[in-house]
Amino acid sequence: MPLSFLKKNPLHHNIALLAAFLLIIGLMISKFLMTLSMIVFIVAGLSNPKRKERWAYFVKHPAYLATTAIFFIILLSGIYTSNWENMAVRLRVALPFLVLPCSFALIGKLPKVYYTWIAQGFIAALVISSIGVLINYAINYDKIQLMIQQSKAVPTPNKDHIRFSLLLCIAIFMGISLLQNVAYRTQKLRTYLSLFAILFLVLTLHILSVRSGLLALYLGILVWIVQMIIQNRRFILGLGLLISLGLAPVLAYYMSPSFRTKFELTRHNIEIFREGNIGEYSDTQRLLSYVVAWEVAQKNIWLGVGMGDLHDEQKKVYTSQYPKLKPKYPHNQFLTFLAGTGIIGLLLFLIAFMTPLFYQAAYKDTFMLCFFALLFSSFITENTLLIASGTAIYTFFLLLNLTRLSD
């Protein structure tokens, strides 16, 4: 990263670049750095001499406003909540929906090379983290394999295998997006390193065998292939890739012990859930959380029970019907909004979620289309936006690429 180039660019752009790297590192190892990055993004936006003009741009931009609206959907559900302490936690976690759209709008479009640096830095961070994860797995193979058989996960940074697997998926499609750039491929070494990184991260994801991550990966690849077939008319190549996509999990089943163990465990857990048994398995408790959430949602189907009261309402059902089990939030983002904000809140969330993809046809961009496929998959299987790292991942990568595609 040449210092002379940084000096030629506006200060607020360089501060934004620093904030991006702080957030990337924070997602790997430190919640403090995540929080600090939000503050630095605010500083970057406010340091733009043209911030008044940019603010006018923000208030007229549907995609930025839609992202901000998610914060207010959660906030308005607090009008009829009784647990203000928990409501405060939900709003604190949702702050990136308020902070980052305003900050990115004020910052404006970054130099093209900045997006490349951020993407390369992010991919490099995931490769380095994955190497550490795999080394630890190899050293403690028997112990970790036993953990997997007990429905636990391979240890990952920040002790959050769900979000780490989502980051792996995002890094993979960021790498694909870089390789689609003709200018980026002018250097063969850079191209080979990017290909290696993509393949290595795909391999890592299969070794970790986080099911929500694998589902997101395959859905993202499927969307990418279909887009390529439609836009480029490359039917033979597309068919070959679709066949390869279908064979990939079969090969992983026979070549990866962790993948095979997770597959068999999932099948077993679904069978016992059908029989009415719950136990201490993550799969059965995930399915149970869906059932409980639907029961809670029916208490106030139009407006929900309020995001602050959602856990309390879930707990009431668990206490009365499943007293031996620990109460959980629904492992589904859409069910969470349905139960917490009702049908009205869920519809508003869906509009806010989809607006950035369709505004100015952002879906034509490979990364944006695949990113939304990853998010959709994650929302089905996890409560992605329940914790700060989830909202940070959502807002940062969405807004970074919205500014990349802006005029």
Give domain status of residue 240, yes or no: yes
Closest CA to 215 of 275, 280, 286: 286
Give domain status of residue 274, yes or no: no
How many angstroms separate the CA atoms of 17 and 23, rounded?
Answer: 10
Give domain status of residue 322, yes or no: no
How many angstroms separate the CA atoms of 184 and 119, rounded?
Answer: 12
| Average pLDDT for 168-180 | 95
How many angstroms separate the CA atoms of 120 and 140, rounded?
Answer: 30
Give domain status of residue 157, yes or no: yes
pLDDT band at 275 (very low <50, low <70, confident <90, very high): confident
Number of domains forming the structure of the chain: 1
Give domain status of residue 51, yes or no: yes
Structure token pair of residue 309: 């009261």
How many residues are recorded in the chain?
407
Contacts of 385 (CB under 8 A, 6+ apart): 70, 93, 94, 333, 336, 391, 394
How many angstroms separate the CA atoms of 165 and 201, rounded?
Answer: 10
Please tell me what DSSP assigns to residue 364. Answer: G
Q: What is the pTM of this model?
A: 0.94
| Average pLDDT for 329-333 | 95
pLDDT above 90 for 168: yes
Percent of the chain with pLDDT over 70: 98
Give domain status of residue 192, yes or no: yes
Measured CA distances, 185 to 127, 175, 178, 192, 302 (Å) = 20, 12, 8, 9, 52
Give domain status of residue 97, yes or no: yes
Tell me the per-residue pLDDT of 24-72, one tens digit each, with 9 for 90 and over: 999 999 999 999 999 999 999 999 999 999 999 999 999 999 999 999 9
Give domain status of residue 325, yes or no: no
Pairwise pLDDT comparison (68 vs 277), residue with the higher score: 68
Domain of 122 in residue numbering reads as 3-267+332-405
Tell me the per-residue pLDDT of 64-117, one tens digit each, with 9 for 90 and over: 999 999 999 999 999 988 899 999 999 999 999 999 999 999 999 999 999 999
